[in-house]
Structure 1
Amino acid sequence: MLQSSLFQLESETPWEDLGNGIQRQIFGYDDNIMLVKAKFEAEAVGVLHEHYHAQVTFVESGVFEMTIGDEKKIIKKGDGFYAPPHVIHGCVCIEPGVLIDVFSPHREDFLKS
């Protein structure tokens, strides 16, 4: 079974620069679940995409225009969303912030990058 270390310390967990004002920090995971922090600069775009993973996201900070399927909503600190498998979703960062993403199953593509 694939599994991360039991503890992830923010100060020891590297940020991966994804370009275009977005960075990612991978935290705990196993075959079934993964927690990821995504940091956005203002005007950074999380391009519309879909994947077979279920995704639940909590807005730690910032303001985002979030699109899920045909719906758009402004979300901010304390808000969240659920993106079902295979549903197109993406965001535009209005004010710099951090999203906390949980994926099920884990994002194997994140571990290969």
Structure 2
Amino acid sequence: MQNVFEKTLVEDKELPWEIVGDKVKRKIMSYSKDLMLVKVAFEKGGIGAVHKHPHLQISYIANGVFEITIDGETKLLKEGDVYFVPSDILHGAVCIEDGVLVDVFNPMREDFIHT
């Protein structure tokens, strides 16, 4: 994967998609040690498995429809909606209609970087 560390001007077309699951792929758009922005594309039926991490996360639904679960509460969210995940809280997503999430993490997700 191309290193996008602290890249200030990013063109989507220059970055490759990384397959991260069945019907799920992502692009790490840019990051520093304190902040990371990731675009995640889902096909209908794609699942972001329930998990937790120490990072703060806020996600914007760029398009599509998702069933989002955070700390046992589930809600259907669509284009223009946002959800926030505090540190170490279980959360996950199920794609109801093809869509894209824009995830922001603080600090950056070191586990996403392949060297």
TM-score (norm 1): 0.95
- Give the % identical residues: 43
Shift of 1:111: 0.6
Q: For the residues of structure 2 that align with 1:5 and 1:72, how far apart are their CA atoms?
A: 35
Aligned to 2:111: 109
Work out the CA distance in 2 between the residues paired with 1:43 and 1:21: 7
5+ residue gaps, structure 1: none
Structure 2 residue aligned with 1:17 = 19
- Name the SS of the counterpart of 1:112 in structure 2: coil
For residues 1-113 of structure 1, the aligned pairs below 5 Å read 3-112=5-114
Shift of 1:70: 1.5
TM-score (norm 2): 0.93
Cα deviation per residue 1:48-71 (whole Å; 9 max; x = unaligned)? 000000000000000000000021
Write the distance in 2 (CA, Å) between the matches of 1:73 and 1:81.
10
Between the aligned partners of 2:114 and 2:6, the Cα distance in structure 1 is 14
Unaligned runs of 5+ in 2: none
